[in-house]
Amino acid sequence: MMANSYTEQEALQHYLRHPLMERIVQLKERNFEASKSCSYAPKNVEEAVDNYHSVLEIVGDICANVIAPNAFGVDNEGPTCADGKVNYASGTRKNLQACKQAGLMGMSMPYQYGGLNFSNVPYLMAADMISAADAGFVNLWALQDCAQTIYEFGSEELKNKFLPRVCAGETMSMDLTEPDSGSDLQSAQLKATYSEQDDCWYLNGVKRFITNGDSDIHLVLARSEEGTKDGRGLSMFIYDKRDGGVEVRRIEHKMGIKGSPTCELVYKNAKAYLCGDRRMGLIKYVMSLMNGARLGIAAQSAGISQAAYKEAAYYAKHRKQFGKPIEEMPAVAEMLDNMKAKLDATRALLYQTARYVDLYKTLEDIAKERKLLPEERAEQKKYAKMADAFTPLAKGLGGEFSNQNVYDCVQVHGGSGLMKEYTCERLYRDARVTTIYEGTTQMQVIAAIRYATNGFYASVMQEFSQMPVTENMQPLQCVLQELQEKYIAMVDLMQTDNLKDYIDAMSRRLVEMAGYIIMGYLLVQDACANDYLFGKSARVFVAYIAAEVDKHCSYIQRFVSIGRC
């Protein structure tokens, strides 16, 4: 049998069986109207979900038989830069060609533009698998997500011009950061000037740290309002490489994700199209773009965690010391169990967030076609808030867990783990960026802390704690309820008048506690649906987070008492 990263992962297939998938598919497919005009559109829910499985099987085939075997060569060879252009590593070119031939570009785009109209859940499952095969390559592939910004905010003319090209396999990039504007995007300086004479915009300036910066279609954040200094002067533009005017000045030599070129771009009177309204570039469009990209990094993190666990488990099974495989030694077994638990917890939160995003974004899209019913409006509002609250947790904790898993993966390998011959050496380097780009973990905490202080996470926990569980999982649910109370007590403590000024200093611990407990509840639900796949992870994870929550509580209490001394 040919190797297949999808069919070999029963745990991954589980996420398509969630009860919310039916509602998501019904909304995405608009009562299956498209099946009358589009030859490949499904006719009912079963067919749509079956399509998800079939296409993910193609992704699994390409991951196992093309992308993963190329990963070592891509990491070694890397991209090069010459004459203002990027040349991908030969393996990267083969990977892109396979994805293009398989029609895996523009997966989420509607049928009318040549896309597959897939929901976020299978799209992120694909990203998860591709990342496990080569965490650098997933960046190039997943930048197709930029098309979502054009779809949501661009004019019909722009959609018709660019979206079919994305679906046909052209690559994308999001040109946001500059030498002096990293996390602080509102200070971006790239200048956009409107020419009355040519009736179009021109871009001038420099962008830095641009992933896949020599792509075919760029989304560019630029200052269109002269004299402004903050985010309100920035607009979103589309630069088409076919028009010319952008040069790649250099590419970075990085620690990891080496296959993905990180570029410095020089814009010299580059013609561009305004996407959406002026002044809304950062305030509205980048925020939307970043939330999608953050979920993409959460998927990338899940993929790295999966690859790390797989490599470690394989090595521990085959490496014998003291006359037996090292997996039989408690110290190693504990590491493996923790790795699997963190992987399953990352995925539980990632795919739950993806379902929320699907529900609210699809309803938002439907609202452009017809007036939503009052209950639909309420649903849209509810899930938009859930998605906004869960995205920084999924990205922040997913990234941290992937780094912990690659650390343990190298540890399981012992001295061999430092050798280039072993995949874990690359994983160790590739994982590092997941807690940094698309907003550092610290930025995720800033985005999440308000949901801790306003009681939203507590209310979500309360809702989850009331969900029915199997008898097996009842003890874990009780532990989670205890942890929830401890968390609420810490949030309340930090909100007392004399401590409010210190809440920023404690925010990482509060957000981590919230994320862990929410992950715990979701993992318990997964285990209720399938104890064989998730039961052990749920037990290990709840024990792990119980200790973590106690640690954070102890720290906060000590911080307060010492501070009061």
Partner 1 sequence: MKLNVVVLMKQVPDIRTTNNDVLLPDGSINRAILPTIVNPNDMYALEQALLLKDMYPEATVTVLSMGPMQAADVVREGWFRGADKGVLLCDKQFAGSDTLATSYTLAQAIKQLAPVDLVLCGSQSIDGETAHVASQVACHLGWPQFTFANALQVENNQVTVERQIENGVEKAQTSLPVVISVTNQAPVCRPKNAKNVMMHKRTEVLVWSLNDIQADANQCGWTGSPTRVANMKPLAWQAKEAQQIEPTDTGIATLMQWIVR
Cβ nearer to partner 1, comparing 40 with 194:
40
Cβ nearer to partner 1, comparing 34 with 511:
34
Name the nearest CA neighbour of 231 among 282, 278, 190. Answer: 282
Q: Round to whole Å and give the CA distance between 389 and 171.
A: 30
Query: How far apart are CB 81 and partner 1 at their closest, in Å?
Result: 29
Query: How far apart are CB 169 and partner 1 at their closest, in Å?
Result: 11
Query: How far apart are CB 42 and partner 1 at their closest, in Å?
Result: 7
Q: Round to whole Å and give the CA distance between 232 and 280.
A: 7
Name the nearest CA neighbour of 81 among 213, 243, 220, 239. Answer: 213
Query: How far apart are CB 62 and partner 1 at their closest, in Å?
Result: 5
Which residues is 85 bridged to in the sheet? Answer: 82
The single-letter code of the amino acid at 190 is L
Cβ nearer to partner 1, comparing 164 with 182:
164
Q: Round to whole Å and give the CA distance between 327 and 325.
A: 5
For helices 503-529 and 441-453, what crossing angle results, to 10°?
A: 90
Q: Round to whole Å and give the CA distance between 139 and 243.
A: 24
Cβ nearer to partner 1, comparing 6 with 360:
6
Query: How far apart are CB 39 and partner 1 at their closest, in Å?
Result: 5
Written as one string, the DSSP assignment of 340-369 is HHHHHHHHHHHHHHHHHHHHHHHHHHHTTT
Using CB under 8 A as the criterion, which residues of the chain lie in contact with partner 1 when the complex forms? Answer: 1, 39-42, 50-51, 54-55, 58, 61-62, 66, 98, 101-104, 107, 116
The two three-digit tokens of residue 239, written as one number: 């630069």
Q: Round to whole Å and give the CA distance between 192 and 204.
A: 7
- Helices marked H in 223-368: 287-318, 330-366
Query: How far apart are CB 508 and partner 1 at their closest, in Å?
Result: 41
Query: How far apart are CB 314 and partner 1 at their closest, in Å?
Result: 18
Tell me the Cα Rg of the chain. 24
Query: How far apart are CB 369 and partner 1 at their closest, in Å?
Result: 23
Cβ nearer to partner 1, comparing 1 with 373:
1
Name the nearest CA neighbour of 55 among 148, 126, 143, 144. Answer: 126
Cβ nearer to partner 1, comparing 105 with 304:
105
Q: Round to whole Å and give the CA distance between 169 and 165.
A: 7
Query: How far apart are CB 9 and partner 1 at their closest, in Å?
Result: 18
Query: How far apart are CB 100 and partner 1 at their closest, in Å?
Result: 10
Name the nearest CA neighbour of 316 among 404, 401, 408. Answer: 408
Q: Quick check: 335 and 101 in contact, CB under 8 A?
A: no
Cβ nearer to partner 1, comparing 37 with 39:
39
Cβ nearer to partner 1, comparing 97 with 454:
97
Query: How far apart are CB 159 and partner 1 at their closest, in Å?
Result: 19
Cβ nearer to partner 1, comparing 95 with 177:
95
Q: Round to whole Å and give the CA distance between 269 and 289.
A: 25
Q: Round to whole Å and give the CA distance between 55 and 42.
A: 13
Q: Round to whole Å and give the CA distance between 362 and 385.
A: 14
Q: Quick check: 167 and 146 in contact, CB under 8 A?
A: no
Cβ nearer to partner 1, comparing 123 with 202:
123
The two three-digit tokens of residue 161, written as one number: 């011009």
Q: Round to whole Å and give the CA distance between 481 and 487.
A: 10
Written as one string, the DSSP assignment of 491-513 is HHHHTSGGGGGGHHHHHHHHHHH
Cβ nearer to partner 1, comparing 102 with 313:
102
Cβ nearer to partner 1, comparing 107 with 176:
107
